[in-house]
Amino acid sequence: MTLPLEYEVTLPDGQKYIQPAGLFINNEFVKSIAGKTIDSINPSTSEINGSVYAAEAEDVDVAVKAARTAFKSWKRITGVERGDLLNKVADVFEKQRDLIGSIEAWDSGKTKEQNAVYDIDECISCFRYFAGWADKVQGKVIQNDPKKLAYTIHEPYGVCGQIIPWNYPLAMAAWKLAPALAAGNVVVLKTSEITPLSLLYVAKIFKEVGFPAGVVNILSGYGATAGKALASHLGVDKIAFTGSTATGKLIQQAAAANLKAVTLECGGKSPLIIRKDADIEQAVKWAAFGIMSNQGQICTSTSRIYVHEDVHDEFVEAYRSHVISDYPQGDMFNSKAVVGPQVSKIQHDKILSYIEIGKQEGAKVVLGGEKNTEGALAKGYFIKPTIFTEVKPTMRIVNEEIFGPVVVIGKFKTDEEVIEYANGTQYGLGAAIFTKDIVAAHSMASEIEAGMVWINSSNDSDVHIPFGGVKLSGVGRELGEYGLSMYTQAKAIHVNLGNKL
């Protein structure tokens, strides 16, 4: 049976909507040329939620050509007009917060009330923030020689390819679409094959608010086909990627085909340090938020906790109790549930295998450490929030990204020792420090190899502030003015005011 281009869906909370299933190219939903499709699986039941068309290289080519054509007129509109359109997208997100939150929860396994709707708020903030920048993209006048006027224009790249993961399907799309469009680019964005539904629904919002055809193109598709085609396409001027470090390396290689500008937001194994002078109650709360929210599927999750030996036992006891009381597990539409299912069977199996590795390596499980098989949860990809203690720096669970609700807690004696632990992995995304000593806090923040450091908080993401990593965690920044700057390049204009040869 041929997949229709749209179908009606009744969500588990009773809301109805029309789910598009096509590729969104030139403001229309179209079938993929080869007719291939992707099934989206419900993480809490392992049943199929719906199917969509999957782009392959030839579809990517059509989308890139549509974008390139659109760029010819899009680059001539004013920043005020671009900002207005982005604000209108935010308006629709505001009006449909509940519905879009439900679709996102259903597609990705995020619990709706305690998690998914906050991603919709993040999208609203992001579209509004970059809407504000759209008419403030400014170059400089460079003064040296009185007989020369020199200035720069910050020009958009043109066609931006964007590839996003499944852990924040809409928020990661907003982080990429909003600055690219604000700066005057056109976009071909590929969603994750695991969570294609929500952004296809959102795609039509861009058309409805008035974005011209071809400015925003959204493709569902697999990484090895559509993703690779986008990253290597000679008609794409810039590629922005969020996902695993292994894929990030492939993207950088593929982008070399035409020396595309590249931004990569990749994996992490972020440390959270608790000095003995820390406010333990605050440390407990942020340390739980930093790894147990979003089922631990957060690139910046503070998945390694290091506690000063004098307060270690007190912290572990309080932390364990807090996770039990404040991170209940349940289906996405259970309004009290905070921790939902993992996004897919592959991730679920990967996390369970890491838990086994941790046990074999000799770490002690003080909470969880297994699949949740209570009642209806047995059908889904639920893993109990898991805490390991008595870990050693050489263990795989201390060094490798698990990407689930699994945290390791180690001890330290001195600041020097814990900085060495913190910097001991190949990643460098985030890091958190809990202390009341401002000198120690800022000194440690400067010593830590990470793109972001939180002092007395964790995973405190903010659209105004740059986000990104060092080492194998990535290249470039998203959000804030730095994030906008990733979507323009400076052109230098030299005007001779009288210099003679």
Binding site for ligand NAD (CB under 6 A): 163-167, 190, 192-193, 222-224, 227-228, 231, 242-244, 247, 250-251, 265-268, 299, 401, 403, 429, 469, 474
Helix (H) or strand (E) holding 18: strand 16-20
According to DSSP, the residues that pair with 153 across neighbouring strands are 491
User: 51 or 389: whose CB is closer to ligand NAD?
Assistant: 51
CA distance 346 to 47: 15
User: 166 or 412: whose CB is closer to ligand NAD?
Assistant: 166
User: 34 or 213: whose CB is closer to ligand NAD?
Assistant: 34
CB atoms within 10 A of CB 12: 16
CA distance 285 to 176: 30
CA distance 248 to 252: 6
Burial zone of 497 (CB within 10 Å; 0-12 exposed, 13-18 middle, 19+ buried) = exposed
CA distance 452 to 281: 23
Please state the closest distance from residue 425 (CB atom) to ligand NAD, in A.
Answer: 13
The DSSP string of 395-438 is -HHHHS---SSEEEEEEESSHHHHHHHHTTSSEESEEEEE-S-H
Please state the closest distance from residue 249 (CB atom) to ligand NAD, in A.
Answer: 9
Structure tokens at 4: 């229709």
SS3 330: coil
User: 19 or 167: whose CB is closer to ligand NAD?
Assistant: 167
CA distance 307 to 315: 8
Query: Any idea which residues carry the catalytic annotation?
Result: 265, 299
Residues 6+ apart with CB under 8 A from 192: 164, 165, 166, 169, 243
CA 55 to chain centroid: 22
- What distance, in Å, lies between the first and last C-alpha atoms of the chain? 74
User: 283 or 406: whose CB is closer to ligand NAD?
Assistant: 406
User: 262 or 316: whose CB is closer to ligand NAD?
Assistant: 262
CA distance 462 to 266: 18
Give me the half-sphere count of Cα atoms (radius 13 Å) on the Cβ side of residue 498: 3
Are the CB atoms for 361 and 288 separated by under 8 Å? Answer: no
Please state the closest distance from residue 102 (CB atom) to ligand NAD, in A.
Answer: 22
Please state the closest distance from residue 248 (CB atom) to ligand NAD, in A.
Answer: 7
User: 219 or 280: whose CB is closer to ligand NAD?
Assistant: 219
According to DSSP, the residues that pair with 46 across neighbouring strands are none
SS3 452: strand
Strand (E) positions, 176-326?
186-190, 216-219, 238-242, 261-265, 271-274, 304-308
User: 198 or 389: whose CB is closer to ligand NAD?
Assistant: 198
